Every structure is written in structure tokens, then in C-alpha cells.
Amino acid sequence: MIKNIFVAKKSKMPQIEIEAVKVDAGKGIVGDRNYAKRQEEGQNITFVESEEIDAFNTNFKQQIGLSATRRNIVTEGVRLNHLVGKEFMIGDVRFYGVELCEPCAFLGQLLANDSLSPPQVVKAWVHRGGLRANVLSTGILKTGMPFIVSNDLSY
């Protein structure tokens, strides 16, 4: 299910938590920094598992918040890695899982501190950084909405 929704109006600006958001087919989240950008597939909406954020905090004795990874949608109870190459739905909105949202140097710099270097941060998030997806239909997303995979498996 959707645990939290975050948007940032411009690149590198702080993310704002909201309860509901409109998404447009082929464009992403209305009002987000990546809306209608087309430099690469799946850049218009990103997901991350709250369980991976919790694991990072536990394993590395950190206290990052749910918006710290700069992903748009924080999930709970959803194995995002399994959605690569699959169509899924949240409410009436259809998505296609394009690829894993692997960590970049920017994320490494954001989460680094005296006890964890940027390369250590990047290594910690490899294959755990979430999912990039294409928005296939227009609709509204709200916190608490469940995921439905195309084979009708609900999470």
C-alpha cells in the first residue's frame, strides 16, 4: 500500500508530504519536479519500500526520514523489485515497472555523515533503492491505497 507521498516542485528542493496527488499518463505526478520530463523511461514517478528505509536505519545506525531517499511514493508491504517488467495498479491508475531505482552519487552525498561515506551509502542502497515506473493512465493516488499486480495479486 501507499504509506506516504512526497513531491518537490524543483530539483534539490525539499520534498513535501501530501495525502493525495494527481498523476497524468505519460507525464507523472502533477506539480512534481519530474513532471513531463522524458530524458529516460520511468523517471516521472519513483517508489521505495518503507521496510528498506527501516533496514538502512537499523543496519547502519542511522535515522533518515521517509522522504530522505527523494522517492515519490513510500510503500509498505510491497516487494518493488518484483514489479520490474510488470504492469500494476494503484486504485484506478495503471503503471509499468521500468527498472530498479538504483542509488546515485547525489543520494550518497545526501545521506552521508561522519559515520557513513557517500560510497558506503550508495553500496547500501544497491538493489534496495526502489522502482522507476511509467504512468499508463491518469488518476488520483492517496495514502493507504493498495497495489494490485496485473495477475490480480494484491499486496
- For the chain, what are the domain ranges? 2-143
* 48 neighbors 67 (Cβ within 8 angstroms): no
- 2-143 to CATH, choices 2.60.40.1180, 1.25.40.10, 2.40.33.20, 1.10.1490.10: 2.40.33.20
Alpha carbon of 98 to those of 19, 77, 88, 126: distances in Å?
25, 20, 11, 16
- In the chain, the DSSP E strands lie at 2-7, 16-18, 20-24, 28-29, 45-49, 73-75, 87-90, 93-100, 131-135, 139-142, 147-149
Prediction pTM value? 0.93
pLDDT in tens, the chain (155 residues): 999 999 999 988 999 999 999 999 999 999 999 999 987 888 889 999 999 999 999 999 999 999 999 999 999 999 999 999 999 999 999 999 999 999 999 999 999 999 999 999 999 999 999 999 999 999 999 999 999 986 644 44
